[in-house]
């Protein structure tokens, strides 16, 4: 398993570095998983390479998600979990975004299945995806304020809902 993952990493790193020396800023190996950290500017090109390159063929975007490392900077990590069905491999692409400009290029043009997943990240984390065809909230109501999955958003929410006990006493004569 580990050997396989190393081989996979080598191929991906080699292909991407061969295309552009600036395509990879860091490679992380943890528990047999490969994470390739990509600079924000080249994300879409790297994604396109990963999908279209004959030696990589990451044709399935399994999952896109985001981690908030508040109060550390860069605060956000957007992860794309890719699967290559023909080569039976997995890979994680990661982009790091700072809190003052949480925007990144959308990969909907590369994998159309990214559409709702990016909407979900936008809805819950407040990351903006440039070039997304339909960037609306998807799970929360449209007029919701704030981004619930951010670390500075309280678990109980912001709304001041009076407890049942206070409502009961208030209505009594």
Partner 1 sequence: MSSPSIVGSMIDTATGGSKTMVLNMGPQHPSTHGVLRILLELDGENVVRAIPDMGYLHTGIEKSCEDKTYSQAITLTDRIDYLNPLGNNLAYCLAVEKLLGLEIPKRAQYIRVMMVELQRISSHLVWLGTHAIDLGAMSVFLYCFREREEILKIFEFVAGQRMMTSYIRIGGLALDLPAGWRQRVEKFLKMMPGRIDEYEELLTGNRIWIGRTKDVGYISAEDAVAMSMTGPTLRAAGLTYDNRRVFPYSSYEEFQFDVPTRTDSDCFARYMIRVAEMRESLKIVRQAVDKITPDGPFRTEAAGIIPPDREKMKTEMEALIYHFKIFTEGFSPPPGQAFAAIESPRGELGVFVASDGSPKPLRVHFRGPSFINLQALPKLIEGKLISDVIACIGTIDIVLGEVDR
Please state the closest distance from residue 33 (CB atom) to partner 1, in A. Answer: 7
Instruction: Give CA–CA dist 93/55, Å, rounded.
Output: 17
The answer to whether residue 136 forms part of the interface with partner 1 (CB under 8 A) is yes
Q: Are 24 and 37 in contact (CB under 8 A)?
A: yes
**Site map (CB under 8 A) of partner 1, residues 89-128, x = contact:** -x-x------------------xxxxxxx--x---x----
Contacts (CB under 8 A) with partner 1, residues 41-100: 59-63, 65, 67-69, 79, 81, 85, 88, 90, 92
| Binding-site ranges for partner 1 (CB under 8 A) | 30-33, 35, 59-63, 65, 67-69, 79, 81, 85, 88, 90, 92, 111-117, 120, 124, 136-142, 148-149, 155
């Amino acid at each position: 398993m580990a050997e396989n993952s190393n081989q996979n990493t080598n191929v991906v790193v080699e292909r991407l570095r061969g295309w552009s020396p600036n395509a990879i800023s860091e490679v992380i190996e943890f528990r047999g998983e490969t994470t390739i950290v990509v600079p924000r500017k080249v994300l879409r090109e790297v994604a396109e390479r990963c999908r279209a390159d004959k030696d990589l063929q990451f044709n399935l975007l399994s999952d896109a998600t985001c981690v908030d490392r508040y109060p550390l900077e860069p605060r956000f990590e957007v992860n794309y979990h890719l699967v290559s069905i023909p080569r039976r491999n997995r890979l994680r692409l990661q982009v790091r975004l700072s809190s003052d400009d949480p925007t990144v290029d959308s990969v909907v043009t590369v994998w159309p299945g990214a559409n709702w997943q990016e909407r979900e990240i936008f809805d819950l984390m407040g990351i903006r995806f440039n070039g997304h065809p339909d960037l609306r909230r998807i799970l929360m109501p449209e007029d919701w304020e704030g981004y619930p999955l951010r670390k500075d958003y309280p678990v109980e929410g912001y709304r001041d809902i009076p407890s049942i006990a206070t409502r009961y006493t208030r209505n009594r004569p």
